[in-house]
Structure 1
């Protein structure tokens, strides 16, 4: 970029990375939005909310490993956090937010896998109790409580499995974009380019 002042001095401003940086940002934004992280993020938030809400009836049943370890709550909150970061990435796309979203998604997948293991172990250890007839010719309360508990945990396991799939897909997409735009980090918008002043020779 060249500018000429009133005293006919020529100012040459060298900023060769500025144009590349802008183009790279737009390309990154367009590429990330192809994966629709906003839709995936909204789905993650909804799954997190559903996991927390569906776990409320477990307080009315016998406390097992799932309730004692608070699995639905910390897993649900991790789902919501991963979803919120994905939504932010769609709106404010940059390599920094992409990296943050990738880290949060990986952590969320790890917690989801841990939750799946705990749900599976819990369901295996707490089998459905036999129906003991009462004087009203109905099953006892313990039988219904265990059935309710197992039904809720099965639903939570299903929601967690869906979230694991969504987060894994998002992690793959983000990792691919990060590798594709690895050279983006070299185009750092540093301090403004230092102008170089060229003074015309004195012709007198």
Structure 2
């Protein structure tokens, strides 16, 4: 709805028309441009974590955990329980690591808020999974290294059994190291992603308030 005001004097008549809808659209368009600029500025803070490089490490870590998990499953024939093998955490855990790494790489390539938030959520899940993996493998290390746990009858000799136990301990140590690395990287990326999205949300609120104030001034 347009509003007009007529100012008359002896020499001329001045007509002032204000269209609130046009003013609102103009402010909205300017706000969109300003908001987009703030988006890029806030999201570039996420680049300080080097998500592309760390995401590549996460993907490689997930692949290594998956492969070593296959080896451990193949030679799993101890009499005592092996928790990390029974739970299959080296399989579904490695898929989570690969997914988190892929989203971390995509977050830097796309520079989009949704991708950064997805990377944040996936890295939090990855950190929790890595922590659980560290716990289960720590229990396995305690069980396997226990001298009271004897080898099963499936081995032809005691010496052969001890060799397999040493092999399993070595693989378990490597998997534990990869899990700790994954946990640190996931926490690191999650921290930067959380900081970037938090700054972005506060920026959007400030831009929206500025739009309202400017609109009120133009209408008045």
TM-score by length of 2: 0.71
Question: Higher relative CO (CA 8 A, sep ≥ 6), structure 1 or 2?
Answer: 1
| Gap change, CA 1:182 and 1:84, over 3 Å in 2 | same
Cα pair 2:130 2:182 within 8 Å, conserved: yes
1:5-33 Cα distance to aligned partner (Å, 9 max, x none): xxxxx976412312212211221342222
Match in the other structure for 2:107:
89
1:156-188 Cα distance to aligned partner (Å, 9 max, x none): 000000110111111111111122222344469
Q: How many residues are paired up?
A: 175
The reply on whether 1:26 has 2:40 as its aligned counterpart is yes
* Structure 1: gaps (5+ residues): 1-9, 133-137, 189-204
* Structure 2: gaps (5+ residues): 1-18, 152-156, 209-220
Question: If each structure's helix is expressed as a fraction of its own residues, which one has the higher value?
Answer: 2
The reply on whether 1:147 has 2:166 as its aligned counterpart is yes
Cα pair 2:43 2:200 within 8 Å, conserved: no
Match in the other structure for 2:117:
99
Larger radius of gyration: 2
Match in the other structure for 2:61:
47
Match in the other structure for 2:14:
none
1:59-92 Cα distance to aligned partner (Å, 9 max, x none): 1232621211112111111110100010111111
The aligned runs of 1:129-144 (5 Å cut-off) are 140-144=159-163
Match in the other structure for 2:195:
176
Is 156-165 or 120-129 further displaced after alignment? 120-129
Q: CA deviation at 1:140?
A: 1.9
What is the DSSP-based 3-state SS (H/G/I as helix, E as strand, rest coil) of the residue aligned with 2:95? helix
CA–CA separation in structure 2 for the residues paired with 1:62 and 1:116: 22
